[in-house]
Amino acid sequence: MNAEVIISALGLPDSVRVNQRVPKKLLVENGAPTAADKRRINEGIEEIHWLASLKPNTIGVPDYCNDVREYMEIALLTVTLRPEAKAGRLDELIHRAIPYPLFLILSQEGQTILSLAHKRRAQNEAGKFVLDGDVVEVTVSGNTPLSAEVKRLFLDALALGNQPRANLLLLYQGWIDTLVALQSSQLTGSFTQAATNEAAIARREEVQRYKEFEAKIAVLRNAAVKEKQMARRVELNLEIKGLEVELAASARTL
């Protein structure tokens, strides 16, 4: 699944089209808090295109606004990364730099990554917005093989017409839940949308829990390889086995 396949699957009307190039200078000035981040943007991004703007008057979905959040528009952006770029940090910087909730499609050497993140009003800066929770990203091509059935179900679920339409916040959350469903399918082999909002929240929490187990196991395995004392190495391996049991239990709940 490349960017063109994803864009086609969204099924967006022609009224949303923008097709403008976004200068990297905009990201550097608004989303790079450190000199290192400025270098990441300048050296890691080849080009950025703002493809579409989803507004109430272009897709017929009402906006959402309260004291915490403002969802007046969802922007669809494609980003081409250079081979050496670190996608995880760059997509976060892009989300931070642009005040609208973004549907990001990142392409890098045959790999396609989808990235979404909620935003809320900054508490101490009027008119400013900050990330609200973690960036949700999933690799849909490259080194992450998906079955033909999972691809078909995911692309069908991704369509604008199959997402909640009560307001732009719920539409955006629907896309996040669809990405989390794909994350889950990469672990279970089957793709299913959560039946209720409560089930979607539980799945997001369980996917995060699974990732935390994976990260802990990776750290412990690295430590076990480097450990010279046999007793401590045995202790680490036992801890790894315990976490693997919890990892397997977590996978069964997805």
The pTM for the full model equals 0.84
Domain boundary assignment for the chain: 3-193, 195-254
Asked if residue 101 lies in contact with residue 58, where contact means CB atoms within 8 angstroms, the answer is no
Q: Output the pLDDT for position 143.
A: 64
Q: How far apart are CA 219 and CA 224, in angstroms?
A: 9
Q: Looking at the predicted structure, is the pLDDT value of residue 250 above 80?
A: no
Q: Looking at the predicted structure, is the pLDDT value of residue 254 above 70?
A: no
What is the pairing mode between strands 74-81 and 102-108?
Answer: parallel
> What is the separation, in whole angstroms, between the first and last Cα of the chain?
23
Using 50, 70 and 90 to split pLDDT, how confident is the model at 7? very high
> Which token pair is 96?
């931070």
Q: Looking at the predicted structure, is the pLDDT value of residue 59 above 90?
A: yes
Q: How far out from the chain centre does Cα 118 lie?
A: 10
Asked if residue 154 lies in contact with residue 4, where contact means CB atoms within 8 angstroms, the answer is no
In tens, the pLDDT along 84-129 reads: 888 878 888 899 888 899 999 999 988 899 999 999 988 877 778 8
> Which token pair is 147?
């079955």
DSSP state, residue 132 = -
Q: Average pLDDT, whole number, for the chain?
A: 88
More confident residue, 28 or 61: 61
In tens, the pLDDT along 37-47 reads: 888 888 999 99
